[in-house]
């Protein structure tokens, strides 16, 4: 069984270095000294629902997932962005500083919801880009955690971003078996694609496209809307099925570009980032050491040669880039604020203390897809070469964050908010692309502990941990289809594959190997860059 680690300064940096494919159970926390001393719920075969009296003792499950947030963005993990909801969970629960995602969103979500490596479920990169062997259709032999919980008497619902249905199947005529409602969620509300406007999203309720509601006052915002929907769903559960446990999956749109948020949130950070990304990394790095999030003898990784030093920038560049980060920070704080509203409702509901909450701060590292200058035209700047110059963005800099622009920050801020690691989203070979904070809270069972847990864990460990917490024996077969074993595990065991899954790729997108070269995560897509994959452990941050 994995022992709980203190995160002391004596821990060596090499303890942070492991093969990216290793899985270590979060389920190990269920028998550690930080718990209140009770056993997990008695196991129930997945083929039959638990009796009502047993259901009432089983925990509610809430999984919260942010989008495109680096390790060092939130104040909870040393960053500059205020995240009080995350802070509160960290105080009442436990934090993990060696939790891993994949380096892009769809694979992380597939691993999270199935307990398998993303490659096993046919999701090698984002669903919009098919490759041989990847049809983005989860096999029926890898059912989701929602389906298993549903079969065990749980109510299930998903809110927010989905991004795991094949693009060709997102239509009014389906097929719908690979939509959330076909994969075990009784209810879904959100958007299906990888990103959308926070002001004017394309929304679906279950499988039907719907218009966004019009608030009585103020502007519509997707983050507020999905929180209202989730709270309404919780209130219905509390009224009509108070003894029935629930599984709520909340996948925020924040803080994926476009960085859309109200001016009042942006203005909270006016001037905060004027000192630039180099100073930000130094400041955050020192704070992370003081907080025990990284070993005291850690050496800060250098700035990539492709990124300019802040002190070499023009006054116009500094003004624009600082404002871009202010917008991002406001967006992230607003996202956490909405999560705080959701968690308040969870605590007030039936069995509020018997609710296991996973707050995963990002589905991958911070995004450098805005390129050096950032963007006000989304990814069109790097995919289609659509100009998004410093001068053009400065001409409407005070409107960044509004519905008028599909705005993104400079790649320099993606690097900075990944402190202390190298690189960012889409680079699976360095922890800047795959290391994300995790906080777990379960008031009935977990005592708050300020010491970070630094055992290696990954997104595919979440589902097995949920089954263990709920006392569910995973079924051998579902709907007559034999189920594949988990890649994530429940106990403190680590298993590494003997070789990488891939040997090479044509384009610089996420894969589960390690790149034999340093490569920026920004710039033109489809440049034909070849990558060679290595066997063995990753030897550096």
pLDDT interval class at 444 (50, 70, 90)? very high
pLDDT at 56 (0 to 100): 53
pLDDT of residue 183: 92
pLDDT at position 14 is: 29
Tens of pLDDT, residue by residue over 325-355, are 999 999 999 999 999 999 999 999 889 999 9
Could you tell me if residue 539 is inside a domain?
Answer: no
286-320 CB burial, b ≥16 within 10 A, e <16: ebbbebbbbbeebebbebbeebbebeebeeebbbb
Close Cβ partners of 451 (under 8 Å, ≥ 6 residues apart): 4, 5, 6, 7, 94, 292
Per-residue pLDDT, averaged over 495-503, amounts to 29
- Count of beta carbons in the 10 Å neighbourhood of residue 344: 14
The helix/strand/coil state of 346 is: helix
Residue 2 lies in a domain: no
Residue 63: pLDDT band with limits 50, 70, 90: very high
First to last CA, the chain: 26
φ and ψ of 477, to 5 deg: -145, 150
> For 133-183, how does the pLDDT look when each residue is reduced to its tens digit (9 = 90+)?
777 778 888 899 999 999 999 999 999 999 888 888 888 988 888 889 999
Which 3 state secondary structure label does DSSP give 312? helix
State the pLDDT at residue 44: 47
Q: In CATH, what number is assigned to the domain containing residue 389?
A: 3.40.720.10
pLDDT at 182: 93
Average pLDDT in the chain:
81
Q: What percent of the chain has pLDDT over 70?
A: 79
Confidence of residue 516 (pLDDT cuts 50, 70, 90): very low
> Is 178 contained in some domain?
yes
CB 185 within 8 A of CB 156: yes
User: Once rounded to an integer, what is the mean pLDDT over residues 436-461?
Assistant: 93
Q: Which residue has the higher pLDDT, 247 or 506?
A: 247
Candidate from 225-229, 399-403, 423-427, 517-521 with smallest mean pLDDT: 517-521
Cβ-based burial of 507 (10 A; exposed 0-12, middle 13-18, buried ≥19): middle
- 283 in any annotated domain: no
**What is residue 153's predicted lDDT score, i.e. its pLDDT?**
95
- Provide the pLDDT for residue 312: 98
- Say what the pLDDT of residue 33 is: 30
For residue 490, name the pLDDT band (cuts at 50, 70, 90): low
Q: What is the DSSP string of 233-297?
A: HHHHHHHH-TTS-EEEEEE--TTSSS----HHHHGGGTTTTTTHHHHHHHHHHHHHHHTTSS-TT
Is the residue at 540 inside a domain?
no
Q: How far apart are CA 159 and CA 146, in angstroms?
A: 13
Say if residues 44 and 407 touch (Cβ distance below 8 Å): no
Q: Which pair of structure tokens corresponds to residue 68?
A: 């495109």
How many domains does one find in the chain? 1
| ∠ Cα 326 330 335 (to 5°) | 150
Q: Which two tokens stand for residue 192?
A: 């299906």
Lowest mean pLDDT among 104-108, 273-277, 410-414, 529-533: 529-533
- The predicted pLDDT at position 133 comes to 77
Q: How confident is the model at residue 188 (pLDDT cuts 50, 70, 90)?
A: very high
Q: What are phi and psi of 368, to 5 degrees?
A: -100, 15
With b meaning 16 or more CB within 10 Å and e meaning fewer, what string describes 184-222?
bbbbbbbbbbbbbbbbebebbeebeeeeeeeeeeeeebb
Predicted local confidence at residue 511, as pLDDT: 39
Spatial separation of the C-alpha atoms in residues 156 and 168, rounded to whole Å: 25
The answer to whether 320 and 373 have CB atoms below 8 angstroms apart is yes
**167-171, 247-251, 478-482: range with lowest mean pLDDT:** 167-171
Flag whether pLDDT at 540 surpasses 60.
Answer: no
Q: Pick the most confident of 417-431, 480-494, 525-539.
A: 417-431
Give the global pTM: 0.84
- Examine residue 148 and state whether it is found in any structural domain, yes or no: yes
Whether 388 has a pLDDT exceeding 50, the answer reads yes
Percent pLDDT > 90 in the chain is 62
C-alpha angle 235-240-244 in degrees, rounded to nearest 5: 90
**Contact, 478 vs 140, CB < 8 A?**
yes
**Domain presence at residue 276:** no
Q: Is the pLDDT score of 7 beyond 80?
A: no
Domain-located, residue 515: yes
- Could you report the per-residue pLDDT of 207-219, keeping only the tens digit for each? 999 999 999 888 9
User: How confident is residue 381, by pLDDT bands cut at 50, 70 and 90?
Assistant: confident
pLDDT at 527 over 80: no
pLDDT for 78 equals 97
Residue 51 CB contacts under 8 Å (≥ 6 apart), including other chains: none
pLDDT at 497 over 50: no
Most confident of 15-29, 240-254, 501-515: 240-254
Between residues 62 and 424, the one the model is more confident about: 62
Domain hosting residue 396, numbered range: 13-266+290-497+506-532
**7 cis-preceded (ω within 30 degrees of 0):** no
């Amino acid at each position: 069984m994995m022992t709980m680690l203190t995160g002391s300064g004596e821990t060596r940096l090499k303890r942070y270095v492991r093969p990216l494919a290793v899985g270590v159970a979060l389920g190990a926390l269920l028998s550690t000294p930080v718990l209140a001393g009770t056993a997990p719920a008695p196991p129930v075969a997945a083929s039959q629902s638990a009796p009502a009296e047993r259901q009432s003792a089983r925990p509610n499950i809430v999984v919260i997932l942010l989008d495109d947030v680096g390790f060092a963005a939130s104040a909870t993990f040393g960053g500059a962005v205020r995240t009080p909801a995350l802070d509160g969970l960290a105080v009442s629960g436990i934090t993990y500083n060696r939790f891993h995602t994949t380096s892009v969103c769809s694979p992380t979500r597939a691993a999270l919801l199935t307990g398998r490596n993303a490659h096993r479920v046919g999701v090698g990169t984002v669903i919009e880009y098919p490759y041989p062997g990847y049809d983005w259709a989860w096999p029926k032999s890898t059912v989701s955690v929602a389906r298993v919980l549903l079969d065990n008497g749980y109510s299930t619902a998903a809110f927010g971003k989905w991004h795991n249905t094949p693009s060709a199947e997102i239509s009014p005529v389906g097929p719908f078996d690979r939509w959330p409602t076909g994969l075990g969620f009784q209810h879904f509300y959100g958007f299906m694609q990888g990103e959308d406007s926070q002001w004017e999203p394309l929304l679906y309720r279950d499988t039907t496209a719907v218009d966004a509601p019009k608030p009585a006052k103020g502007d519509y915002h997707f983050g507020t809307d999905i929180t209202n929907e989730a709270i309404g769903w919780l209130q219905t559960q509390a009224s009509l099925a108070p003894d029935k446990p629930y599984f709520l999956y909340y996948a925020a749109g924040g803080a994926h570009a476009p960085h859309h948020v109200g001016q009042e949130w942006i203005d909270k950070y006016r001037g905060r980032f004027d000192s630039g990304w180099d100073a930000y990394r130094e400041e955050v790095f020192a704070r992370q050491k003081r907080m025990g999030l990284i070993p005291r003898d850690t050496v800060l990784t250098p700035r990539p040669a492709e990124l300019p030093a802040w002190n070499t920038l023009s006054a116009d560049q500094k003004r624009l880039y600082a404002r871009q980060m202010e917008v991002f920070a406001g967006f992230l704080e607003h996202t956490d604020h909405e999560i705080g509203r959701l968690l308040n409702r969870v605590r007030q509901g039936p069995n509020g203390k018997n609710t296991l909450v996973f707050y995963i701060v990002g589905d991958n590292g911070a995004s450098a897809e805005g390129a050096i200058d950032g963007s006000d035209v989304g990814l069109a700047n790097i995919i289609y070469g659509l100009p998004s110059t410093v001068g053009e963005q400065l001409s409407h800099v005070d409107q960044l964050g509004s519905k008028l622009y599909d705005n993104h920050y400079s790649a320099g801020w993606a690097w900075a908010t990944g402190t202390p690691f190298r690189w960012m989203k889409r680079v699976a070979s360095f922890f800047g692309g795959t290391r994300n904070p995790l906080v777990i809270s379960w008031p009935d069972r977990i005592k708050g502990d300020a010491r970070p847990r630094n055992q290696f864990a990954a997104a595919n460990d979440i589902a097995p941990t949920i089954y263990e917490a709920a006392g569910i024996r995973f079924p051998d077969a579902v709907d007559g289809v034999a189920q594949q074993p988990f890649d994530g595990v429940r106990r403190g065991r680590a298993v590494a594959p003997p070789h990488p899954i891939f040997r090479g790729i044509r384009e610089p997108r996420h894969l589960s190997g390690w790149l034999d070269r340093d490569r920026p995560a920004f710039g033109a897509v489809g440049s034909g860059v070849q990558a060679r994959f290595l066997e063995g452990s990753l030897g550096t941050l």
